[in-house]
Amino acid sequence: MDTTGKKRTLAAIVACLLPSLALAEYGNATISEVISIYDADTFRAIIDG
């Protein structure tokens, strides 16, 4: 198998695995108040319970 074939095979494997990572469930929490937002993905909040 040449280099191009190996790259395509690797790309196909990665393309099959990425959706399964996106569907993972990390649990849930109820947030009663957002205190502050620092950037697009960092925030402080009050979690109930």
Share of residues in the chain with pLDDT > 90 (%): 12
User: Is residue 22 over pLDDT 70?
Assistant: no
Q: What is the mean pLDDT of residues 11-39?
A: 81
pLDDT tens per residue across span 1-21? 678 888 888 888 878 777 766
CB-based burial, 9-45: b 16+ in 10 Å, e otherwise: eeeeeeeeeeeeeeeeeeeeeeeeeeeeeeeeeeeee
Task: Provide the residue range defining the domain that includes 9.
Answer: 3-47
Number of domains within the chain = 1
Q: What CA–CA distance (Å, rounded) separates 41 from 26?
A: 16
Distance between CA atoms of residues 16 and 28, nearest Å:
26
Q: Rounded mean pLDDT of the chain? A: 82
